[in-house]
Amino acid sequence: MKILVCISHVPDTTSKINFTDGDTKFDTNGVQFVINPNDEFGLTRAMWFKEKQGATVDVVNVGGAETEPTLRKALAIGADAAIRVDNTPTDGYQVAKELAKVVQDGNYDLIIAGRESIDYNGGMVPGMLAQLIKANFVNNCIGLEVEGDTATAIREIDGGKETLKAKLPLVIGGQKGIVEESDLKIPNMRGIMQARKKPLNVVQPSESDITTKVVKFEKPEPKGAVKLVDPENLDELIDLLHNEAKVI
């Protein structure tokens, strides 16, 4: 079984976010980038298939050379090879089209992506990718087994879970639950050294159209100052809730 894991290169959630060029571009200065958490859960599940069933696992990213350390980390975790589509990602449809070409060229059986990235939270790419390659698709996946050419997937739905069976090729939009946080792999020194020798192939982008553009980014309003009230002074607390907060 050939597995392709789609990897997004995203800011660490502890990073301080700023914008430049009139709030139209994300400022990357001083920002630490990591593997998108939903993608890392999927990568860990792919490693399980490699260890238990002898699957081969490739990882792919659409981005510039700055994303290669993230791909190298995926290789250190255990992926066999990495592919970087040398293009600046601008919208979900463009990324899906670039990934579709990689999938078709590589003849992959199972494509695992995160249900969404934690930077733009678009949640568009896995579904569009499945449509472009005419493959089955399961989103919000929290469980996955493969036997022969049939996958059994569990997905999260409102109020419960749903178990589905689907033929390969299959696109998965994974999330926490497909593995648990305790299952995530931390690269060890041996893995890091081996990752340096594994192939990282840079491919040229297709002529995909850019269908959207950023008009402006806006930060949320800063939180207001906190007022502390003596627990013995209930009258003051009630007055503030009634006259200032206006919640009672």
Q: Does residue 57 fall inside a structural domain?
A: yes
Q: Is it the case that residue 215 has pLDDT exceeding 80?
A: yes
Q: Does residue 243 fall inside a structural domain?
A: no
Name the residue with higher pLDDT: 229 or 36.
Answer: 36
Backbone angles phi, psi at 96, to 5 degrees: -60, -40
Give me the helices (H) in 54-159, please.
Answer: 68-77, 92-106, 125-133
pLDDT digits (tens, 9 = 90+) for 71-121: 999 999 999 999 999 998 888 999 999 999 999 999 999 999 999 998 888
Mean pLDDT of 157-175: 95
Spatial separation of the C-alpha atoms in residues 194 and 173, rounded to whole Å: 29
Encoded tokens for 181 = 């946080």
Spatial separation of the C-alpha atoms in residues 118 and 115, rounded to whole Å: 10
* Residue 247 pLDDT class (50, 70, 90 cuts): confident
Encoded tokens for 107 = 């003849």
Residue 3 near residue 47 (C-beta atoms within 8 A): no
Q: Which amino acid belongs to residue 159?
A: G
> So what's the pLDDT on residue 17?
86
Q: Is it the case that residue 207 has pLDDT exceeding 80?
A: no
Helices (H) and strands (E) in the chain, counts: 6, 13
Mean pLDDT of 14-22: 89
CATH number of the domain at 46, please.
3.40.50.620
> So what's the pLDDT on residue 122?
86
* Residue 16 pLDDT class (50, 70, 90 cuts): confident
* Residue 186 pLDDT class (50, 70, 90 cuts): confident
Domain that holds residue 99: 2-215
Mean pLDDT of 149-177: 95
From residue 108, alpha-carbon distances to 55, 111, 133, 168 in Å are 11, 7, 11, 9
Mean pLDDT for the chain overall: 92
Which residue in 178, 201, 190, 192 sits closest to 43, CA to CA? 178
Residue 185 pairs with which residues in a beta bridge? Answer: none
The domain total for the chain is 1
Q: Does residue 76 fall inside a structural domain?
A: yes
Q: Is it the case that residue 209 has pLDDT exceeding 80?
A: no
Q: Does residue 107 fall inside a structural domain?
A: yes
Q: Is it the case that residue 205 has pLDDT exceeding 80?
A: yes
Encoded tokens for 87 = 């293009």
Give me the helices (H) in the chain, please.
Answer: 37-53, 68-77, 92-106, 125-133, 189-195, 234-239
Q: Does residue 172 fall inside a structural domain?
A: yes
Q: Does residue 183 fall inside a structural domain?
A: yes
Mean pLDDT of 157-170: 95
Q: Does residue 33 fall inside a structural domain?
A: yes
* Residue 3 pLDDT class (50, 70, 90 cuts): very high
Spatial separation of the C-alpha atoms in residues 145 and 28, rounded to whole Å: 38
> So what's the pLDDT on residue 104?
94
